[in-house]
Structure 1
């Protein structure tokens, strides 16, 4: 089954996982993570690639959605399936993470009267799943309204969502991560556009993505080195352009690198559970002393990748329902034609 997977997609998933875990190990502010200053080389690295991590995850989700989109008349079934695949593990992982932080007085602990906010507002990394579920609602509605023009639908959603991204629409509306849904939607839609253009993606578009990536990354690097600061606004023109051209070029190219592809096969589990390992390591740091920054990064990324993979393999041995609830996986045999096209996180993993 692993040999039938899309190695290019899994490679990019592995890259996105490494960048995500590295961000949380380094820390999103000088008082978090490795406790390094904004002008430290590792902090500069995190800032340079800020606009690649979540846009890449979202664009991969849109691209893979293109393999098995909502079918005409199947909107309710499609959304129920997404709730099962994303909603159940989201509720389990977020609840477990909240409980651990409350017991250990961790940085993500909430007062007793505000526990429900972990499920209604953005909480830790789980906001991505809230936003993604809303995106699936939008795409299911758009695709079922215009089933005969899939590429036009994807292009229109991209254009409209890009305009909304750059506007004040939805800013500050945190309920179910609505604001962040508007942040992710253009990248998801562009991934779907690229999927529906296959295999006739114009060379002109590829050249534009490559040229734009080089120019925008250079401009972004000049800005980062001129004034390092990890408090970065998401919904900016630079953020939109960088996310689209960077992630878009990687998605068109789809490089293959087996070690990253292997990590990418566990991408959903890593996304859900990496902070458990990272926070545990932070607790050990406070007891045993903080290591040098580069050693701390190596230890943190290793733990943040390896621990969820071990957890994934253990849960698979526990039976069908634990895998369904904790990993969002359907461990029943997949149809042969759906192995490479299964939406995240069905078996074995999207």
Structure 2
């Protein structure tokens, strides 16, 4: 693992990847994934952590953006970097996923006449990239307008986005998955605020107050959420209500403020973007086999699904980086590795925003 990576952040990336893949392998309902009843322990586990997966991904994106915000005179460079890192691999992965599903008659098959919708409306799990790109543009504009008040910008963005989260703002607007943007924005904002508090070296008391608030809120809201899940398995989990907002902020925020290192998760976190983009290929492929052989033991199905969903993208990234050329940029948004003996082009940079 390279020295310039943040092991604590990579650990949380790895945790988010494990929860994401587990959610899709287990399934959101008894008709999906492993076809488990609502009260099955795996289904209950997935429901308890429902409000951590995507909020954690969004908060990590905000936290890491704080290391490389837009700067005056570098707007074009910023937009080009985001396009290469996010937009190009999104186009490649979404197109490939849609083609494979359409050819094989999968759950995400797309009629040829409607194929354009893959790129401009929510499709499979790729909606996250639509929304996170929109948030990057919004926060970049705010940082451009108020370059001398980065912490105040983050706090203001958190307050406004949290208020919008609790309203119907954006509902029904499917273009570029906009209705998901108010869902992710508060978590991105809190990650950015925590980063800027650390960089600004604010006093110990403000940081302690934020920490106590997050940990205390987590204890209360997690107990409430878990009680609802365990007492009424299968009840609808809303993405945008007070519990979803509070639990997502407190859970993810507490993890980021009190970062820890678990080496296997940190190693996995290096491949988080690849896992996000391509985990469904492995998970759905194995699901087809799983269904064909007659739904064996759920524990075996979960184990195999996790191996496929996490392992296939890691192997794919390794092979793509070995191929080099334009392949890493197209499929992963990464620069081709330098050839032996070549000179580095600059100082090591922090890990990518996703």
Pair 1:23-2:23 in alignment: yes
Aligned residues of 2:122 and 2:174 also touching (Cα < 8 A): yes
Residue 136 of structure 1 corresponds to 136
Residue 306 of structure 1 corresponds to 311
User: Structure 1 residues 90 and 230 mapped into 2: Cα distance closer, same or farther (>3 Å)?
Assistant: farther
Cα distance per residue 1:95-138 (max 9 Å; x no partner): 00001100110001112221111111111111111111101110
The counterpart of 2:214, out of the listed 189, 201, 209, is: 209
Aligned residues of 1:68 and 1:342 also touching (Cα < 8 A): no
Cα distance per residue 1:183-210 (max 9 Å; x no partner): 1011001100000000446212111111
The counterpart of 1:286, out of the listed 283, 291, 302, is: 291
Aligned residues of 1:213 and 1:245 also touching (Cα < 8 A): yes
Distance apart, 1:336 and its partner CA? 5.9
Distance apart, 1:288 and its partner CA? 1.7
User: In 2, Cα distance between the equivalents of 1:289 and 1:257?
Assistant: 36
Residue 181 of structure 1 corresponds to 181
Matches within 5 A, 1:2-21: 2-21=2-21
Gaps of 5+ in 2: 339-343
SS in structure 2 at match of 1:235: coil
Displaced runs of 4+ in structure 1, greater than 6 A? none
User: In 1, Cα distance between the equivalents of 2:285 and 2:212?
Assistant: 44
User: In 1, Cα distance between the equivalents of 2:235 and 2:284?
Assistant: 20
Q: Give the TM-score taking structure 1 as reference length.
A: 0.95
User: In 2, Cα distance between the equivalents of 1:65 and 1:336?
Assistant: 19
Pair 1:343-2:348 in alignment: no
Aligned residues of 2:27 and 2:34 also touching (Cα < 8 A): yes
Aligned residues of 1:28 and 1:231 also touching (Cα < 8 A): no
Gaps of 5+ in 1: 345-349
Distance apart, 1:338 and its partner CA? 3.9
Distance apart, 1:74 and its partner CA? 2.3
Q: Give the TM-score taking structure 2 as reference length.
A: 0.94
User: Structure 1 residues 272 and 230 mapped into 2: Cα distance closer, same or farther (>3 Å)?
Assistant: farther
Distance apart, 1:337 and its partner CA? 4.2
Cα distance per residue 1:39-94 (max 9 Å; x no partner): 11111111110100000000000000000000013223312221111001000000
Matches within 5 A, 1:98-113: 98-113=98-113
SS in structure 2 at match of 1:4: coil
Distance apart, 1:331 and its partner CA? 2.9
Matches within 5 A, 1:190-229: 190-198=190-198, 199-200=201-202, 202-229=207-234
Aligned residues of 1:68 and 1:343 also touching (Cα < 8 A): no
User: Structure 1 residues 265 and 284 mapped into 2: Cα distance closer, same or farther (>3 Å)?
Assistant: same
Two-structure CA RMSD over aligned residues (Å): 1.4
Count of residues paired in the alignment:
344
Residue 249 of structure 1 corresponds to 254
SS in structure 1 at match of 2:34: coil
